[in-house]
Amino acid sequence: MSEFPLDNDGMPEGQRLQAGLEMSPRQAAEALRDEDFVLIDVRETDELAVAAIPGAVHIPLGQLKTRVHEIDADEDTPIGVLCHHGRRSFQATVYLQQEGLSGARSVAGGIELWSQTVDPSIPRY
């Protein structure tokens, strides 16, 4: 399914996850089966129209500070944060952790890597 060799976490070989800040798309997909896990998509609405993961809560990064109260999670609830490639989700993760949501993790590689390693039916853009 992937275009490149993957390590045990489902990440491209040589690309390491930042402990305490990131999770792989495979790890997020597994966690999504747990009813306590929250997946937040911080992409813009037009991006969501192209490719989306069912069950994700949509809060664009630019609205996160004013909408953080909408996240139904306790401080240690596992939260995955998703964007296109992982940059915006990393920013959002740092912010959420600063706000006390210590279970927040950026989905490394974003929906792009998700499409390549978890669900190829998700369109790439």
pLDDT of residue 2: 63
As a whole number, the mean pLDDT across the chain is: 95
pTM above 0.75, yes or no: yes
Q: Quick one: 22-117 is in which CATH superfamily?
A: Rhodanese-like domain (3.40.250.10)
pLDDT of residue 123: 96
Compute CA distances 53 → 16, 17, 20, 56, whole Å.
24, 21, 23, 6
The answer to whether residue 1 scores a pLDDT higher than 90 is no
Higher-confidence residue: 7 or 91?
Answer: 91
Tell me if residue 83 is catalytic.
Answer: yes
Which of the following is catalytic: 11, 40, 83, 92?
83
Across 1-125, where does the E strand assignment appear?
22-23, 38-41, 57-58, 79-82, 104-107
Burial level of 106, CB count in 10 A (0-12/13-18/19+)? Answer: buried
Go through 25-63 and write b for each residue having 16 or more CB atoms within 10 A of its CB, e for each that does not: bbbbbebbeeeebbbbbbbbeebeeebbbeebbbbbbee
Could you report the per-residue pLDDT of 77-94, keeping only the tens digit for each?
999 999 999 999 999 999
